[in-house]
Amino acid sequence: MGSNDNLKSSLMAMVESATTLSAIEEVRVHALGKKGALTDAMKGLSALSPDERKSAGQELNKIKDALTAAIEAKKQTLSMAEMSARLMEEKVDVTLPTRPEQQGRIHPISQTIDEVIAIFGEMGFSVAEGPEIEDDWYNFTALNIPEDHPARQEHDTFYLPGVGEKGRKVLRTHTSTVQVHTMLNEKPPIRIIAPGRTYRCDYDATHSPMFHQVEGLVIDKAVNMTHLRGVLTDFCRAYFGVDDLPLQFRPSYFPFTEPSAEVDIGCTRAGGEFKIGHGDDWLEILGCGMVNEKVLENCNIDPNEYQGFAFGIGIERIAMLKYGIPDLRTFYESDLRWLRHYGFSALDVPSMTGGLSR
Ligand code: DAH
């Protein structure tokens, strides 16, 4: 028997008694590591005579192989055991109900803009955008709004410090500015809607200093008021989801259109309950008209060749009407309870008819 029997049996016993993966790793280091017991014994070989060294060396190598195999086997056994222990412990109960999760809601303003875009999109309109900070010229002058018009007064309009290339800086008071940018940048035919934020010094249950409008503009060679009536009738019927919704075009005045009209939709207030549709009453919802020749000229379009129509709709107004929201200020209070009540699921897709398909 070799002289290292004791070493072998004590190391084997340590392997045997290890019960965890980290314990077996410690045994490995203790036996075979740089300063391990077997490594030490091997270093001792140099002190022996060549004959002794040969047999002792062979013996130590055998011990090393046996030990390495034993450690590896033990590692396998222990990791299997640890795995089955975890499997036993970490059971997944597939019958548990899911935890309630907060779901985000689409704000009624975003929803309404999406619905408007979907409806006009079906009619071949594309979406245009313009800046919210404008030069006076784009907001007023180009749109034929005279110098002394009340809208230009300081108490209606937010003026900003500084002067641009085309006059004083203002926060746009309407999205009609996008008409001007579009006509200056694109060649007719033009068929756009421009939804966006607008600003006026106003604050009560139906006014907010920041609100939203959608502007519409069509410019082509033979556009007339019948087209305007058709487009707006189709839009109102689709948006409010009333197929035969009556519309009334009342003569009105806007500096940028001639002739101009305001559009009312049929409604009833019978019994104190407001309802859109047939009835004995009318509700104003938008302004429109044939684009004033002066506006076309200001935007380098020849009025003898092209005509067009335009319209402007208040987004909050039509959202309040359709979804029964009584106070405009609540749109901007960021009250989550309000949003949960009036908001929309992201899974509701705006569609052409009725605005929403549920
Ligand atoms: N810009 C108008 C407003 O803010 C709305 C409007 C009326 C726009 C008639 C138009 C239009 O394009 O033709 O009240």
Most confident of 46-60, 89-103, 210-224, 324-338: 210-224
- Say yes or no: CB of residue 215 within 6 Å of ligand 1: yes
**Confidence tier at 150 by pLDDT (50, 70, 90):** confident
Axis-axis angle for helices 315-323, 108-122 (nearest 10): 100
Beta pairing class for 159-164 and 257-268: unpaired
Helix and strand numbers, DSSP H then E, in the chain? 11, 13
Residue among 199, 211, 311 to mutate when testing ligand 1 (max atoms within 8 A of CB)? 311
Cα of 213 vs centre of ligand 1, distance in Å, is 9
Say which residues have a Cβ less than 8 Å from residue 317's Cβ, sequence separation at least 6: 206, 285
Binding site membership of 105 for ligand 1 (Cβ less than 6 Å): no
Q: Is the CB of 264 under 6 A from ligand 1?
A: no
At residue 231's C-alpha, the angle toward residues 226 and 109, to 5°, is 150
Give the Cα separation of 49 and 40 in Å (integer). 17
Amino acid identity, position 274: F
What residue has token string 């017991």? 37
pLDDT tens figures, 287-296:
999 999 999 9
In this predicted structure, what is the pLDDT of residue 355?
A: 46
> Does residue 228's CB lie within 6 angstroms of at least one atom of ligand 1?
no
Confidence at 79, pLDDT banded by 50, 70, 90: very high
Contact, 139 vs 179, CB < 8 A? no
The amino acid at residue 247 is: L
286 CA distance to ligand 1 middle (Å): 8
Answer for the pair 256, 263: CB distance below 8 angstroms, yes or no. Answer: no
DSSP letter string over 9-41?
HHHHHHHHH--SHHHHHHHHHHHHSTT-HHHHH
Q: Residue 198 CA: which ligand 1 atom is closest? A: 4
Q: Please tell me the pTM assigned to this model.
A: 0.73
Q: Is the CB of 266 under 6 A from ligand 1?
A: no
Distance 311 CA to ligand 1 centre (A): 6
Strand ranges in 32-72 using DSSP code E only, listed in sequence order:
none
- Cα of 256 from ligand 1 centre, angstroms: 8
1 or 47, higher pLDDT = 47
